[in-house]
Amino acid sequence: MVVSSKPIAFSLHPSWVIVLTGVCAALHVGKLPPALPVLQTTLDISLVQASFLLSALQIAGMTLGLVVGLAADGIGLRRSMLIGLALLAFASACGGFVSTASSMLWLRTLEGVGFLLVVMPAPALIRRTVTSEQLNTRMGWWGTYMPAGSALALLCGPWMIAHTSWEIWWWLLALVSAFAWLAVWWCVPIVPRAAAHVDDAWSKRLALTLKTPGAWWVAMAFAVYSSQWMAVIGFLPTVYNEMGLSASTTGLLTAFVAVVNVIGNIFSGRLLQRGWPARAVLMLGYSSMALGAFGAFGQWEGWSLPPVLSFICVVLFSAAGGVIPGTLFATAVRVAPSEATVSTVVGYMQQWSAFGQFAGPPLVAWVATLVGGWQWTWAVTMSLCGLGFVLAFKIGGLLESPRKVAKVSP
């Protein structure tokens, strides 16, 4: 069932408001790296404290993803998103006034909870506001929220901080979150609890989700993707710095690689809409990531691709790999055991994704340290993509067996 929005002038379709709200939430994830050098000076933050600030949102996702997903299904999808935006606006506004590293860490943790409350209910809300014909395409767009928001923050943050201050950068994003709150309140319809078939017993929803094979497959597939994507994007500035590139050039190239991921997400929706099976789209994404990483970092007896071709391979890695999250979000709403557990399944995906983002970079760093360079790091991504192939077959087999897929009407 599709719930129509309020008939107001100059309104966006609710599903587009939800996508833009996800981008707004992702801005808070990407706002910290550009400000970190300034924060280390003004707040006297050590390198260890800085690492905790960077990983605060991943830790929140690893520990609270499933719990917040359960909460979103229980308190209501729209209400969850509004609470999350309020937390983001409040924490970011307060962040501009902090004077200690510990205060900033607590506020980053609060932002992590707010971020989860925004993104967990989004796929279920999109499902409720579009037709079945629009679902795959819109889920592809939803998959762009993280790379789009992160890239915007990486591009705009340094300019804002250089021309104003990091405090104004924090307050600006608080204001953006407040406007997003108004947009959701005004444009996104209330999903009646009866229409959503909400079961108030969270323990039943948790047990039902964890007993569903599809929830495990999509969550693990998301972890396999996010671990290698975060590792490559995270260490790309270091790789280019070792090549002698300037900090500004390194920042622009890394932001470009991050933003092209949006292309794959959008393309995934189009492929699914044209009848491509999810298994084929996932295999396309994992194989492209494997080939891209091999071309970018592989060496043969000291010979490697020229820098331009190597960069093209990194772009291929990110752009083609982008079909994976879009496909997994579209799949999650199909494999969820009931309408009342869609956010719970997405929360489980987010939890495993956060684990992948947390574990992937150290694994790649360990291999690079072991061999004394980046020339064998492609073996990590190749291994992960092999696991992704297995999971793609599992997901494909599940979707091709109608009796195993939850019958949840849009």
CATH code for position 16: 1.20.1250.20
Cα 324 to Cα 27, 43, 125, 382: the distances in Å are 21, 39, 20, 15
Q: Which of 186, 212, 247 is the last residue of a domain?
A: 186
Residue 24 has pLDDT above 90, yes or no: yes
Residue 197 has pLDDT above 70, yes or no: no
Residue 35 has pLDDT above 80, yes or no: yes
Position 195 scores a pLDDT of 42
Instruction: Note the pLDDT tens digit of each residue in 147-168.
Output: 889 888 878 888 888 899 999 9
Residues 170 and 260 in one domain: no
Position 6 scores a pLDDT of 46
Question: Residue 194 domain-assigned?
Answer: no
Residues 216 and 105 in one domain: no
Position 94 scores a pLDDT of 96
Of 3-17, 27-41, 77-91, 171-185, give the lowest mean pLDDT range: 3-17
Cβ neighbors of 350 (< 8 A, separation 6 or more) are 61, 65, 69, 116, 119, 120, 222
Residue 64 has pLDDT above 50, yes or no: yes
Residues 139 and 58 in one domain: yes
CB-based burial, 17-50: b 16+ in 10 Å, e otherwise: bbbbbbbbbbbbbbbbbbbbebbbeebebeeebb
Position 10 scores a pLDDT of 43
Question: Residue 109 domain-assigned?
Answer: yes
Residues 29 and 118 in one domain: yes
Mean pLDDT on 178-199: 75
Question: Residue 406 domain-assigned?
Answer: no
Residue 194 has pLDDT above 50, yes or no: no
Residue 270 has pLDDT above 60, yes or no: yes
Residues 389 and 241 in one domain: yes
Residues 45 and 149 in one domain: yes
Question: Residue 319 domain-assigned?
Answer: yes
Residue 182 has pLDDT above 80, yes or no: yes
Position 48 scores a pLDDT of 67
Q: Which of 186, 216, 239 is the last residue of a domain?
A: 186
Residues 223 and 181 in one domain: no
Mean pLDDT on 319-328: 93
pLDDT top residue among 286 and 211: 286
Q: Is 389 exposed, middle or buried (0-12, 13-18, 19+ CB in 10 A)?
A: middle
Q: How many domains does the chain have?
A: 2
Q: Maximum CA pair distance of the chain?
A: 65
Identify the domain containing residue 252 by its residue range. Answer: 201-401
Residue 92 has pLDDT above 80, yes or no: yes
Mean pLDDT on 167-177: 96
Residues 354 and 284 in one domain: yes
Q: Which of 137, 163, 186 is the last residue of a domain?
A: 186
Does the CA dihedral 396-281-218-313 come out positive or negative? positive
Position 402 scores a pLDDT of 57
Position 404 scores a pLDDT of 52
Residues 207 and 353 in one domain: yes
Position 321 scores a pLDDT of 93
Residues 166 and 217 in one domain: no
Residues 317 and 291 in one domain: yes
